[in-house]
Amino acid sequence: MRHFFKISSRFSYIWTELGYFVMSLLISRERILIDEVHGLKRLRALIDESTLEHPIREELLLCFLRARKFNVERAFKSLKNYLKMVKNYPELLANLSVSKLRPQLKEQLQIVYKSKDKLGRRIFIFRAGRWNPNKLSLDDIFRCNVFCLQQLASNFDAQINGIVAIVDLQNLSLNQARHFTPSYAKKIADLLTEAFPLSFQTIHIVNQNWIVDMLMSIIWPFLSAKIQKRVLYHGSCWASLHEYVDAADLPEDYGGFREQLDCFKLFEAVTNEETCNLFNLN
């Protein structure tokens, strides 16, 4: 009988804790909904008072609000920066889709996993070292990266928790590095800092060589102090990377247990019409 009461007490404890957990999720979601309603109202007011001309969907405004933790002023600043980039570089950011990027995506420099790191953040892998300048231009790479980020930005969890990026620089050469100009570095920095509705929580640099120091010296002045602190170097020490991203959530190339994805097939399987509409400002 004593054993029965111990088991009963244990189950009671588990159910109580589970109840608290579910309740905390509900309360958290309710707070988010309240923040969304108030944030949208204030953000719309700022837009109405400004000179912004694009018709902007409510869903996109929510992306900016969530990514900036419902700080309306920061969300508005990011939105203005993003619209400025779209205006200055329409060929790089507007109307991106699998059909328009098919040849570039087939090179599989980008990987987007559904898995998350130890803090619940989605993982974006950019295998820059695999880039062949004879096949793709830097603009091609930029468009593909933005397309992948648009896919991630359409996900509620990614909007709230942000993402982590793994930049693989294996086999990076001077032939590739010579294409990397300060103007291109600034485009990347603008995207990383305050011009896209995603928060880049950590940027893991792996398989780097001496050329990386030269490239980082170009882009570093354009990065905000916050982003600079979030750049981590691991070389080929997978134990170091696994302190942040579990091996179970990584492909074998990075000391993980997942099979390598055919990312192009994954993209083709995704119905991205909704994502395209979300970022379509026409």
**What is the pLDDT at residue 8?**
47
**What is the pLDDT at residue 29?**
60
* Per-residue pLDDT reduced to its tens digit, 122-170: 999 999 999 999 999 999 999 999 998 988 888 888 998 999 999 999 9
**What is the pLDDT at residue 6?**
42
> Residue 160 has which token pair?
């709230």
* Per-residue pLDDT reduced to its tens digit, 63-78: 999 999 999 999 999 9
Question: Comparing C-alpha atoms, which of 163, 157, 119, 123 is closest to residue 249?
Answer: 123
- Other beta carbons less than 10 A from residue 125's beta carbon: 23
**What is the pLDDT at residue 72?**
93
**What is the pLDDT at residue 1?**
53
Which residue ranges of the chain lie beneath pLDDT 70? 1-31, 33, 54, 260-277, 282
Measured between alpha carbons, how far is 144 from 157 in angstroms, rounded to an integer?
Answer: 22
